Structure 1
Amino acid sequence: MSVSSSLSHRELALLEALQRLGGSGRSAELAVMLDVSEETVRRTIKALAKAGAVERVHGGAYLTGPRSGSQPGPSFFRRMGENPQEKKRIAAVAVAQIKDAMTVFLDVGSTTSYVAEALRARRELTVVTNSIGVAQVLANHNGNHLHLLGGEMRSDDRGTFGPVTEQQAARFVFDLAILSADAISPKHGLLFHNASEAQLTMAVTGVAERVCVVTTHSKFSETAPHRGPAPQQLSLLISDREPGKKLSRALTDWGVSFELAAEAEVALPPVRTD
């Protein structure tokens, strides 16, 4: 008997949803796709993992077995699952910056994905993103207008990048852009491992009234080869720990504010529904 023949209708539906997402997905976006609770998704994932059909990771799952080059692997979800409590606290602070009916940009960063989930408490947003995950969480919810940017799909981050993505992003005017980074340097500002990601952040900051960077403190000690926008274009940095002396001094010189996501701020705004 094949594995698929022994699965329930709900388990088969979740496998199909993972396939549509490219082989992997977070519990929150799977819940939206299947119109069930996240608890139901977690129970279904647990059952599928016992059957050997998926691999469980913190916050989601990915399909097991042979993978095509276009499907993200476990490393993608390791990034998504790192420091979840810290990212929830950062998201809670970031959402306070966003009011109903604003036009916002969210990138493909793992911390940004937590912001997207918290933004389900807002209404009538115009959301522009290059992230499949963000689009799945916020589309068709609370009167949102969701724009998924075109371009070349990069499976590692399940997002679009390249000249087409940058051109489409530059057609908007953002009240606020929420960005992540692979590293933050007191000399150069935001740094990225991928040149196309750095280019997109420059296109976005050029048309944003305010730019908010969300990242855990681990990025303060990292480095990467590609520079992002001029640090003077940034407005606010939100993290789970205070930056060191050098970065703090640099933020002051750049005119960038800092907000600490303390443990007391872990509670997210209540989700509002239509």
Structure 2
Amino acid sequence: MESINNHTQSEILNAVRKAGGTCRIVSLAKQLGVSEETIRRNVKSLAREGGLEKVHGGVRLQVSAEESNFQSRMLECSDAKRKIAGVVSRMIEDDSSLFLDVGSTTAFIAEALKNHKRLTVITNSVAVAFKLATRNENRVFMAGGELRAHDGGAFGAAAGAFFENFETDYAILSAAAISARKGMMLFDLEEAEISRTVMQRSKCKIVAADSRKFTRSAPINVCDPSLIDILVSEKKPVAEIYRAAANWRAQVVVADEL
């Protein structure tokens, strides 16, 4: 019997996204080279986690898993994200090099960095590049690849290879969920692979997550949580995650306590 695993689940999520948010079971089985029963078992697990919902003969992304579109996400918990952005921006010195991902929280961080000088910014986010390019002698390097409509992020083989050219002072990353057991979690396999690459090539890894992420789940584990240096949120994490962060030896910074 073919087993359920995170790799298969992430492939299902990516396939459904590429199909526009809905897909038939039979089509997923053919695309991924597994049985329809394997797809159904994985879909059942993803439905429990809030990633997909079952419809007659197929599946569709839940709005929370697709995270709506980028502009909608910018409006969600915007006050919390601004607080987080302010905290993170104060950690970054002028003349630093940093990676910023495609998350809405990192777009707020880019805005908070607008008065910094001579930054070297590595990103695959159009929003980040737009906010920081041509300002204060900054240098912004934007990944190539396919530009996704729902988040303005560049992905694909070219984007993945692009990040291997850089070593940075900081990797600033957003998360779909924070797990006490596994740390930073995402819905998208391509995003996770890029996050892994830049974490390996940066001195300080900062994960920025609003407090909703402490009670959410997502299927893809990004890294060993001990790689996280700093976890920033607007509120103190729930007790389980706060204790876990101590075990990871990650510094927890709470905007509301500053």
Q: TM-score, normalised by structure 2?
A: 0.72
Report the Cα distance in structure 2 between the residues aligned to 1:176 and 1:73, rounded to whole angstroms: 26
Within-5 A mapping of 1:206-225: 206-225=200-219
Matches within 5 A, 1:85-234: 85-234=79-228
What is the CA-CA distance between 1:73 and the residue it aligns to? 11
The answer for the alignment partner of 1:248 in structure 2 is 242
User: Contact (CA 8 Å) 2:100, 2:106: kept in 1 or not?
Assistant: yes
Q: Any unmatched runs of 5+ in structure 2?
A: 1-65
- Decide whether the 8 Å contact of 1:162 with 1:200 is kept in 2: no
**Structure 1: which 4+ aligned runs deviate by more than 3 Å?**
72-75
CA deviation digits over 1:40-85, x for unaligned, max 9? xxxxxxxxxxxxxxxxxxxxxxxxxxxxxxxx99733211111111
**Partners of 2:83 and 2:234 within 8 A in 1:** yes
Contact kept, 8 Å, 1:201 with 1:228, in 2: the verdict is yes
Q: TM-score, normalised by structure 1?
A: 0.68
Q: Amino acid of the residue matched to residue 204 of structure 1?
A: V
RMSD of aligned residue pairs (Cα, Å):
1.7
Letter in 1 for 2:195: T
Question: Within 2, Cα distance between the matches of 1:201 and 1:83?
Answer: 23
User: 1:41 — aligned with what?
Assistant: none
TM-superposed deviation, 1:162: 2.7
What is aligned with 1:43? none
Contact 2:94–2:118 (8 Å) recurs in 1? yes
Question: Is residue 77 of structure 2 the alignment partner of residue 83 of structure 1?
Answer: yes
Amino acid at match of 2:205: V
Measured in 2, the distance between the counterparts of 1:89 and 1:116 equals: 13
The 1-side partners of 2:168 and 2:148 are apart by 24
Summarize the Cα distance change of 1:226–1:82 in structure 2 as closer, same or farther, 3 Å threshold.
Answer: same
What is the percentage of aligned positions where both structures have the same residue? 36
